[in-house]
Amino acid sequence: MKINDPQSYLDSLRTLERKVYVLGERCGNTVDHPLVRPSANAVAETYEVGAEPEAASLLFTTSHLSGREISRFTHIHQSTDDLVDKILMQRLLGRRTATCFQRCVGMDGFNALYSVTHECDEAHGTPYHTRLKDYLEWVQDTNVVVEGAMTDVKGDRSLRPGDQPDPDMFLHVVDRTPEGIVVRGAKAHQTGALNSHEILVMPTTAMREGEEEFAVSFAVPADTRGITFVLGRQPSDTRKMEGGPLDVGNPGYGSQEALVIFDDVFVPSERVFMCGETDQSGKVVERFASFHRQSYGGCKVGVGDVLVGAAQLAADYQGASKASHVRDKITEMIHLNETLFCCGIACSAQGRATGAGNYEVEPLLANICKLNVTRFPFEIARLLQDIAGGLIVTMPSEKDFDNPETAALLEKYLKGVGSVPTLDRIKVLKFIENMTVGCGAAAYLTESIHGAGSPQAQRIMISRLANLDEKVELAKRISHIED
């Protein structure tokens, strides 16, 4: 059965029989749990064409495997136009939800593995590329959500995977059989894990000789026996359980992460895409990182569009929109946001074909894009808080607005511009609170730093890819300096 719309997606999650813990308790139906439902709603938007004229062509495309129409989230990029359309799709969905819509990691994982499995087969005579294509065609036909799982818990960061006192700190193979492999370990910070049907596992770093059991990639259903999910906390997350939507700030949408634990999980051979090829593991990491660092030039820009709108709205409602310093701050927010978009488009437009036939982004520009993302959203949020004022963190609760004894007083003393209902002003300020210090800050700010690798990871790649020797030769030639 193919998932074709938001409702069938939400219904499909209810059929999963998984071992999930939320706030210390076993949770059988995550999609209807108030802590999880907003994030499921965000994923559901990826199945919704919506009202935007460009949405259909961005959300859906044609499979190069089957020739059928598929979700772009299951597509293997066939051109630089595909890479650009990916960014445009992500911006569109960020504008709709003002949060993470959670399908990008799986998409980026597929595209990284597509070229690496092809090269691995050429180098080692393995059958991984055909297996991946078969699996991918099934994913395209069913339109399931695939979570990409790369980040291991890592244990002692000063030690290599093979040197850890407990080898489970990096997911690894513990047994091989004629039918498949058995794996153990955990993947941390797994965005959208509770809203996914499948888990696509990739190695977390470049492995060396002697670390073959850690050089593993595979896919399993999310309800496979031996997998446990533990939902992570977010700031102010229990507001979602308090009843009313006002204090939540973004009541319709959200994001979530989980720790995903693999306890002797069996993976059938046809779902294994790497097993022991240490020389190929680093390629997966670097290519996935480039694709995912490109992604931030779309999704975070879409969220930024909403924040720019919230800044203007707050200024309008408070009677400050004509102040020159407010106009300057909003202009700077727009400048920073569009600069990120420029980076995402640039690394896409400069993409190139791989030996497998798919297209990958220009890696230097993708890393530039993500390094800017580690900074600019924080400045956008700072400017937004500056315009909104301190009320975003001193505002009374929704229950006070509902209490007849205090409602009239709040209506009077929290009034802004006379023509604007007080509650409308409060709604936009609660949204700004959510996005800059509450649950929304996890998906917009913290994820901007650590998603797709920390800032130092981008600096390392930029230094490696920048070709400094060539630039030195340019300076010497222009300056007439001879060796």
Nearest residue to 231 (alpha-carbon basis) of 255, 199, 263: 255
pLDDT band at residue 285, thresholds of 50, 70 and 90?
Answer: very high
In this structure, what token pair is assigned to residue 183? 């794996």
CATH code matching the domain that covers 6-279, chosen among 2.130.10.10, 1.20.120.450, 2.40.110.10, 3.40.80.10: 2.40.110.10
22 — alpha (psi -120 to 50), left (phi > 0) or beta? Answer: beta
pLDDT at 3 over 90: yes
Candidate list 120, 299, 369, 439, residue with the active-site label: 299
Answer yes or no: 447 catalytic. yes
Share of the chain above pLDDT 90, in %: 99
pLDDT at 169 over 90: yes
Q: CATH 2.40.110.10 region(s) of the chain?
A: 6-279
Determine how many CB atoms are found less than 10 A away from the CB of residue 303.
27
Answer yes or no: 299 catalytic. yes
Secondary structure in 3-state letters for 93-155: HHHHHCCCCCCHHHHHHHHHHHHHHHHHHHHHCCCHHHHHHHHHHHHHHHCCCEEEECCECCC
Contact between 96 and 50 (Cβ < 8 Å): yes
Candidate list 47, 296, 317, 444, residue with the active-site label: 296
Alpha carbon distance 98, 305 (integer Å): 9
pLDDT at residue 243, as a whole number:
82
Answer yes or no: 296 catalytic. yes
Answer yes or no: 104 catalytic. yes
pLDDT at 1 over 80: no
In this structure, what token pair is assigned to residue 70? 């598929």
Contact between 447 and 410 (Cβ < 8 Å): no
Task: Assign 86 to helix, strand or coil.
Answer: helix
Candidate list 9, 30, 61, 104, residue with the active-site label: 104
Alpha-carbon torsion 363, 369, 375, 381, what sign? Answer: negative
Answer yes or no: 100 catalytic. yes
The CATH code of domain 283-473 reads 1.20.140.10
Task: Assign 183 to helix, strand or coil.
Answer: strand
Give the mean pLDDT of 265-287.
Answer: 98
Q: CB within 8 A of 188, min separation 6: which ones?
A: 151, 152, 153, 259
Candidate list 292, 398, 439, 444, residue with the active-site label: 292
Burial class (CB within 10 angstroms; exposed 0-12, middle 13-18, buried 19+) of 358 = buried
Candidate list 74, 75, 77, 100, residue with the active-site label: 100
Alpha carbon distance 370, 117 (integer Å): 26
Candidate list 257, 277, 286, 433, residue with the active-site label: 257
Establish how many alpha carbons lie within 13 A of residue 148's alpha carbon, considering only the half-sphere containing its beta carbon. Answer: 26
Q: CATH 1.20.140.10 region(s) of the chain?
A: 283-473
In this structure, what token pair is assigned to residue 280? 């190929």
- Supply the DSSP string of 208-248, one letter for each residue: -TT-GGG-EEEEEETT-TTEEEEEPP-TTGGGGGSS-SGGG
Q: What is the pLDDT of residues 409-461, one digit of tens each?
A: 999 999 999 999 999 999 999 999 999 999 999 999 999 999 999 999 999 99
Candidate list 99, 151, 191, 436, residue with the active-site label: 191
Candidate list 147, 211, 360, 447, residue with the active-site label: 447
pLDDT band at residue 483, thresholds of 50, 70 and 90?
Answer: confident
pLDDT at residue 103, as a whole number:
98
Nearest residue to 45 (alpha-carbon basis) of 2, 84, 7: 7
* Pairing verdict, β 172-177 and 146-149: unpaired
Burial class (CB within 10 angstroms; exposed 0-12, middle 13-18, buried 19+) of 96 = buried
Q: What is the pLDDT of residues 113-161, one digit of tens each?
A: 999 999 999 999 999 999 999 999 999 999 999 999 999 999 999 999 9
Answer yes or no: 406 catalytic. no
pLDDT at residue 258, as a whole number:
98
Alpha carbon distance 394, 20 (integer Å): 35
pLDDT at 311 over 90: yes
Establish how many alpha carbons lie within 13 A of residue 84's alpha carbon, considering only the half-sphere containing its beta carbon. Answer: 9
Q: What is the pLDDT of residues 186-213, one digit of tens each?
A: 999 999 999 999 999 999 999 999 999 9
Q: What mean pLDDT value characterizes the chain?
A: 97
Answer yes or no: 224 catalytic. no
pTM of the entire predicted model: 0.97
pLDDT band at residue 379, thresholds of 50, 70 and 90?
Answer: very high
